[in-house]
Structure 1
Amino acid sequence: MTKSTVIYTHTDEAAALATYSFLPVVQAYASQAGVPVETRDISLAGRIIAVFPEYLNEDQRIPDALTELGELAKTPAANIIKLPNISASIPQLKAAVAELQGKGYALPDYPDDPKTDEEREIRARYDKVKGSAVNPVLREGNSDRRAPASVKNYAKTHPHRMGAWTSESRTNVATMGENDFRSTEKSVVISEAGMLCIELAAEDGTTTVLKDSVPVLEGEVVDASVMRVAELNAFLAAQVARAKQDGVLFSVHLKATMMKVSDPIIFGHVVRAFFPKTFAKYGETLKAAGLTPNDGLGGILKGLENLPEGAGIKASFDAEIAEGPALAMVDSDKGITNLHVPSDVIIDASMAAMIRASGRMHGPDGREHDTLAVIPDSSYAGVYQVVIDDCRANGAYDPSTMGSVPSIGLMAQKAEEYGSHDKTFEIPAAGTVRLVDQAGNVLIEQPVARGDVFRACQTKDAPIRDWVKLAVTRARATGDPAVFWLDETRAHEAVLIAKVRQYLPEHDTEGLDIRILPPVEAMRLSLERIRRGANTIAVTGTVLRDYLTDLFPVLELGTSAKMLSVVPLMAGGGLFETGAGGSAPKHVRQLVEENYLRWDSLGEFFALTAAFEHLADTTGNGRARILEETLERATGTYLAENRSPARRLGGIDARGSHFYLSLYWARELAEQTDDPTLADAFTPLAKALLEREQTILAELVAVQGAPADIGGYYRPDPAKATAVMRPSPTWNEALAPWLHLGRTELSQGL
């Protein structure tokens, strides 16, 4: 690998399948400019395989690409294009392991309740893979996410469909406000580097070390908070009753993928709250059978097939579903509810989709209904209520006139909640959890009861300083107001406010509009401005950044997949993310059933453009600059000609959209005059693609409508996936000489 190497990550689901089609184009075109494009496998299956080498045959082992890229991200040479990956819940993790075992990988089963040292060690390895395993490792910089001008202009001239809001809407958000993570939070700034210990001093006088070593740096912010489950359960029971009384759907919105320890536990409490009679009567039976509500209703129902009492338990669940409020559905045709799988309803995607659809979700009857959106922790729930109230009062937003809310997110070096996984615990006994330094000083203590969820978070000083710098940089570049979404009444954010005020004077802010507002007020300001077509930069923490970079793009553009997501790495490299992957599973299902992949790779086009730009800036490679400029123009044509995947069979899908991007890009390269040699090289290809356009399209469309065999969901067979995703012999033949690969290598795909 050289300073000119671009790393293209091989990830999961629809994004990975699209890569089989698009990556050969990228490698072929970039090779002409002397830019190597290599892949690294950070898929869920790849991560699983990498952490169990001694269990596998030598030819099955693969390197730990995630660790490699994590080290690369700390260097100036990093130029990484990161596609959406699965942030695995436990059910997804188990499904991936089962698929790999079926392919001959002798992986150990995931131990739900490890009892031996070997089982605990296996569980620890799997815990490194599940949840948000990728992003905290690669994100050695803060987030700059915005809608490119070409996408925003396209959305204004071709506005997407928005659901109509009325003042009669009964949709609302329900949140705790007390005894949750936000309200119990305590925060300190570390005065000198060292090591902390997290311990539980139980009421019976015993002390248990929960985590013996938490390295900290000078100036680092450390927080500790508790979700009190007694109050959580009372809250959840009240919301089930409220939804029934109000005649609205009951839904819960969590992030059981990124918050891989805390949110599955909370999800389990929601399942129990919805089925109190069933768990009161059969809870011990289910527990003895290894069926936990933390994994969702779907896993329990499947497990009932093997229990003698299964029919009676199933009848009890059915009775409580009939008695309770109508449940929001993931798939009403298949009976998959909001409570079936913890990773099926992810708050940032689900709330954005609900608000776009008139504040409604699908019910058991397949129709849309007003909804009670239950978000237990109140840290950010209020911002969604503000949007709902605004839509109820003023109607839906108009994509043809609305402004934009780009985002600057604090996320570097596992900042804030997303770095809390190894410091989150379900408390085994009542007492006090203490954070203690090496001198024995108690920095923070939290009273806890058995079953409470304790969480400690860290945010290093250098990322905060860089975050402030990035906010000022974007405010200067755009002239738009930059608003820090921080509330002085929340412990962590009060500390951040002090640091923001400390670091802002390091920059020239003359003439800039920079404000600090509580999230609810910041949302009101942003909504008021977007309704009159004005832009406002949201400067937020990592979780709120995730929420807003789905919410606003879905409202503005119809999808969050069309955003430009740049992570200027603190060491000088670049990480370029390609948009959200929340709809990836249904895209894969459609491909397998109908050989049609409705995945829009526009985010990859933008990420690739930014990667070439970064390469040109840092290495002086003039041809990389030409790749950047020509790809940007080609993407503009792609949008103007509306070459995104069509909604129905018979039109172009992802493969057809990749063809048109390759055609427009080859034409731009052939017509540019900065490098005549490069233009001469691309002229025959551009001519061939244009002349064979109809033949290629016919070959791509001809395969639609029949099932497609890709050889696996979590780890597709490379040869089968390549055959499915590159079905045009004419296009393959035109591209093959450019790839510098033999026919055998070409057929092996990734």
Structure 2
Amino acid sequence: MAKIIYTHTDEAPLLATYSFLPIIEAYAATAGVDVETRDISLAGRILAQFPDRLTDEQRVDDALAELGELATKPEANIIKLPNISASIPQLKAAVKELQEQGYDLPDYPENPQTDEEKATRAAYDKVKGSAVNPVLREGNSDRRAPASVKNYAKAHPHRMGAWSGDSKTNVATMGKDDFRSNEKSVVVPADDTLRIEHVAADGTTTVLKEEVKVLAGEVVDGTFMNVAALRRFLTEQVARAKAEDVLFSAHLKATMMKVSDPIIFGHVVQAFFPTLFEQYGEQLAAAGISPNDGLGALLSSVGNLPEGDAIKAAVQQGLADGPDLAMVDSDRGITNLHVPSDVIIDASMPAMIRIGGHMWGPDGEEHDTLAVIPDSSYAGIYQAVIDDCRAHGAFDPATMGSVPNVGLMAKAAEEYGSHDKTFEVPAAGTVRVVAGNGEVLIEHQVEPGDIWRACQTKDASIRDWVKLAVTRARATGTPAVFWLDETRAHDANLIAKVNEYLPEHDTDGLTIEVLAPADATTYSLERIRKGEDTISVTGNVLRDYNTDLFPILELGTSAKMLSVVPLMNGGGLFETGAGGSAPKHVQQLVKEDYLRWDSLGEFFALAASFEHLAGYADNARAQVLADTLDRATGTFLEEDKSPSRKLGGIDNRGSHFYLALYWAQELARQTDDTELAAAFADLAEKLAADEKTIVDELIAVQGKPVDLGGYFRPDAAKASAVMRPSATFNDALATLNS
């Protein structure tokens, strides 16, 4: 039987689920629609890896594996909320919390030696980074701002910081000796099993990955970053920021690019504090303290070392000697280099551009910034936006156009350098990709410490991506631009395939172009300023970047996007928006019982999910739920019932009440199903009559700390009590199916 699967994830989206899911379940059940849940949170994923160490009561199903199988079936209908894409510090913190909750989990082994430690490390590696997305995304991405959101943004434009023509803000990127410049790409002619190996200077061969299964027509890439060049580049940028009197900031994606970017982050930390690591590098390494984990982990770990005070003094001296560091939280002294997962490029760069090319400095004020993005693959798109704003000023949300995205991601396409094929090179020599017949397909000369990585993109995924791009261009009449650079090895192969597959579709009357990313950015910005829309058709990493960059400029947030993944076998995956600010929302809730998370993305995904179910299962009532929810969301926006910005107004829970009120009213007045209308009439009347009481009850709890029983795995009863504090509202919902 067709049903909707709603996912339990992490942080603010999980807490919001404790409030919103009871509404969904009550309304759906009244209409005869089944809604089930699956736990794909970081904590749930960890526990699923170690069933033999847990009691019967503690064991959890491997929900991610189950949903991965479901995603390949036509009946799939999955609503996926943002989850933690765990960096190593986050993973360690989650393990520690679960251990404290009584789960017998092993510690994360930094340098596994025994077979048991290697097996433990392999199990934890399965849940690091973007572990969820590659499993569920059996289709390509269709992400756009719903018309109601775009219209609201135009009528109520968010604040944009002013840009100065003499702004000193810029992007610094390597341009050579990096992943972009060293890339090699091949299209495999037949199904095969490849091998990745390292051949040392003395001829010793070490297999890095035994089996890489590929299909005919698959695009396979290999590349590396020269670490000596990276270190020189970073040292130069620290000096440049100091000389130009701008903030220094590094922008990576240590959560998703979970092998390469923490290493790069560690090199940034070392480049910023050269004297510290010259003097105490050996002691820190001996104590197991890695710069890859960030300055915060270093400072919290050196207290027990004999040199601890001297190390802390060296850090302070490094901060004094270097350029001012961009801050994550200037009040608490949390810098850009404290935690590798704190500054995520696709959220941090748009935020910087939105407020006038500034980041926050140690003095708590905004300043021009040198944004250091070591790899040059996509750094140019941000420089293009900065140059445009410097020349033409800030964008106007009241008039600007939109940039929806069609993203190539099916079957883990271009999945962030494919973590299982990324390696820190142990010795000088050659890394090569070898076909089953012994032919060397790709090879690179490497030095110790270089970061080598490969990725795969299946032909079927590319063909489906082209089809989706044409489908969206035809449906909207909007120009579609493939963001591909003919001078880059991988992109050149994709361009050939795009040219091969476009003739399979009716493109008469459509504008479809291929432009390099920086040029595509400039083209799209020119249209944006004229109020015109342009579909960006991109690979997986640019999908992530663009679906934050443009929505944050247009709407003020990327959480209000409709994100649909038409699964290749006919099912649907409905994603609910970005979670970049989720940790701060949780911190505020714990401190003062106020959750600012905006669930608008959940509302859009739910309506799309109902609509998909209606079509697949021929369920008329699911379509009624979809249509009425869509109208209710429009009213929600017009009445401005998103969470307010400070205590004393409605927060996430109040938003859910108003959505429930407007939805019940729409259901009660719709004429497609009079029986369903009658079922909601009493609820609509009761919620309207009790509006003031309910809102007062929701606001009354604000202003004091709360106990959730855990961050990564909250106690369900405690979290539910916190997120459902209105007895009047709860009782009203309970009457719906009584």
Q: Same fold (TM over 0.5)?
A: yes
- Tell me how far apart the structure 2 counterparts of residues 137 and 382 of structure 1 sit (CA, whole Å): 30
- Tell me how far apart the structure 2 counterparts of residues 450 and 527 of structure 1 sit (CA, whole Å): 42
Deviation of the 1:308 alpha carbon: 1.1
> Which amino acid counterpart does residue 176 of structure 2 have in structure 1?
E
Contact 1:27 1:739 in 2 (8 A): no
Summarize deviations over 1:133-162 as a string: whole Å, max 9, x none: 011111100000000000000000000000
- 1:335-484 to structure 2, matched below 5 A, reads 335-418=333-416, 420-484=418-482
> Which amino acid counterpart does residue 243 of structure 1 have in structure 2?
A
Deviation of the 1:419 alpha carbon: 5.6
- Tell me how far apart the structure 1 counterparts of residues 155 and 13 of structure 2 sit (CA, whole Å): 27
Q: Report the equivalent of 2:106.
A: 108
Deviation of the 1:19 alpha carbon: 0.3
> Which amino acid counterpart does residue 13 of structure 1 have in structure 2?
E
- Tell me how far apart the structure 2 counterparts of residues 676 and 131 of structure 1 sit (CA, whole Å): 48
- Tell me how far apart the structure 1 counterparts of residues 514 and 168 of structure 2 sit (CA, whole Å): 32
1:640 to 1:558, Cα distance in 2 relative to 1, 3 A:
same
Contact 2:679 2:736 in 1 (8 A): no
Q: Report the equivalent of 1:207.
A: 205
> Which amino acid counterpart does residue 594 of structure 1 have in structure 2?
E
* 2:670 aligned to which of 653, 665, 672: 672
Q: Secondary structure at the match of 2:36?
A: strand
Q: Secondary structure at the match of 1:483?
A: strand
Summarize deviations over 1:599-640 as a string: whole Å, max 9, x none: 100000000000011011111100000000000000000000
Q: Secondary structure at the match of 1:100?
A: helix
- Tell me how far apart the structure 2 counterparts of residues 695 and 312 of structure 1 sit (CA, whole Å): 58
Q: Report the equivalent of 2:608.
A: 610
Summarize deviations over 1:6-60 as a string: whole Å, max 9, x none: 0000000000000000000001000112111111000000100111111111100
Q: Report the equivalent of 1:168.
A: 166
* 1:589 aligned to which of 587, 590, 597: 587
Unmatched runs of 5 consecutive residues or more in structure 2: none
1:739 to 1:65, Cα distance in 2 relative to 1, 3 A:
farther
- Tell me how far apart the structure 2 counterparts of residues 418 and 236 of structure 1 sit (CA, whole Å): 22
* 1:527 aligned to which of 509, 514, 525: 525
> Which amino acid counterpart does residue 62 of structure 2 have in structure 1?
D
- Tell me how far apart the structure 1 counterparts of residues 485 and 166 of structure 2 sit (CA, whole Å): 31
Q: Report the equivalent of 1:643.
A: 641
- Tell me how far apart the structure 1 counterparts of residues 313 and 737 of structure 2 sit (CA, whole Å): 59
Deviation of the 1:369 alpha carbon: 0.5
* 1:288 aligned to which of 280, 286, 289: 286
- 1:12-161 to structure 2, matched below 5 A, reads 12-161=10-159
- Tell me how far apart the structure 1 counterparts of residues 128 and 303 of structure 2 sit (CA, whole Å): 27
Deviation of the 1:417 alpha carbon: 3.9
Contact 1:136 1:418 in 2 (8 A): no
Q: Structure 1: which 4+ aligned runs deviate by more than 2 Å?
A: 737-740
Q: Report the equivalent of 2:269.
A: 271
Q: Report the equivalent of 2:182.
A: 184
Contact 1:145 1:406 in 2 (8 A): yes
Deviation of the 1:739 alpha carbon: 5.7
> Aligned residues: percent identity?
73
Contact 1:13 1:588 in 2 (8 A): yes
- Tell me how far apart the structure 2 counterparts of residues 320 and 694 of structure 1 sit (CA, whole Å): 55
**Within the alignment, does 1:495 sit opposite 2:493 as a pair?**
yes
Summarize deviations over 1:506-558 as a string: whole Å, max 9, x none: 00000000000111110000000000100000000000110010010000000
Summarize deviations over 1:680-707 as a string: whole Å, max 9, x none: 1110111111111111011000000111
Contact 1:136 1:419 in 2 (8 A): no
Deviation of the 1:500 alpha carbon: 0.1
* 2:230 aligned to which of 232, 241, 247: 232
Deviation of the 1:438 alpha carbon: 1.1
- Tell me how far apart the structure 2 counterparts of residues 310 and 420 of structure 1 sit (CA, whole Å): 38
Q: Report the equivalent of 1:746.
A: none
> Which amino acid counterpart does residue 596 of structure 2 have in structure 1?
R
- 1:239-250 to structure 2, matched below 5 A, reads 239-250=237-248
Q: Secondary structure at the match of 2:126?
A: helix
> Which amino acid counterpart does residue 268 of structure 1 have in structure 2?
G
Contact 2:593 2:706 in 1 (8 A): yes
Deviation of the 1:655 alpha carbon: 0.3
Contact 2:134 2:415 in 1 (8 A): no
> Which amino acid counterpart does residue 110 of structure 2 have in structure 1?
D
Q: Secondary structure at the match of 2:416?
A: helix
- Tell me how far apart the structure 2 counterparts of residues 72 and 548 of structure 1 sit (CA, whole Å): 28
- Tell me how far apart the structure 2 counterparts of residues 548 and 727 of structure 1 sit (CA, whole Å): 38
- Tell me how far apart the structure 2 counterparts of residues 414 and 260 of structure 1 sit (CA, whole Å): 15
Contact 2:172 2:373 in 1 (8 A): yes
Summarize deviations over 1:299-330 as a string: whole Å, max 9, x none: 11111111111001111111011000000001
- Tell me how far apart the structure 1 counterparts of residues 260 and 516 of structure 2 sit (CA, whole Å): 25
Contact 1:562 1:603 in 2 (8 A): yes
Deviation of the 1:281 alpha carbon: 1.1
- Tell me how far apart the structure 2 counterparts of residues 655 and 425 of structure 1 sit (CA, whole Å): 45
Contact 2:683 2:736 in 1 (8 A): no
* 2:541 aligned to which of 519, 543, 547: 543
- Tell me how far apart the structure 2 counterparts of residues 324 and 521 of structure 1 sit (CA, whole Å): 35
**Within the alignment, does 1:722 sit opposite 2:720 as a pair?**
yes
> Which amino acid counterpart does residue 488 of structure 1 have in structure 2?
E
Q: Secondary structure at the match of 1:333?
A: helix
Contact 1:24 1:739 in 2 (8 A): no
Aligned length: 738
- Tell me how far apart the structure 2 counterparts of residues 148 and 313 of structure 1 sit (CA, whole Å): 52
Report the TM-score, using the length of structure 2 for normalisation: 1.00
Q: Report the equivalent of 1:743.
A: none
Q: Report the equivalent of 1:511.
A: 509
Deviation of the 1:738 alpha carbon: 3.3
Summarize deviations over 1:420-477 as a string: whole Å, max 9, x none: 1000000001001111111111011111101000000000000100000000000000
Q: Report the equivalent of 1:687.
A: 685
- Tell me how far apart the structure 1 counterparts of residues 32 and 486 of structure 2 sit (CA, whole Å): 51
Summarize deviations over 1:403-427 as a string: whole Å, max 9, x none: 0000000011111142610000000
Q: Secondary structure at the match of 1:71?
A: helix
- Tell me how far apart the structure 2 counterparts of residues 731 and 643 of structure 1 sit (CA, whole Å): 17
Report the TM-score, using the length of structure 1 for normalisation: 0.98
Contact 1:159 1:400 in 2 (8 A): yes
Q: Report the equivalent of 1:576.
A: 574
> Which amino acid counterpart does residue 554 of structure 2 have in structure 1?
E
Contact 1:220 1:458 in 2 (8 A): yes
Summarize deviations over 1:156-190 as a string: whole Å, max 9, x none: 00000000001011000000000000000000001
- Tell me how far apart the structure 1 counterparts of residues 83 and 529 of structure 2 sit (CA, whole Å): 34
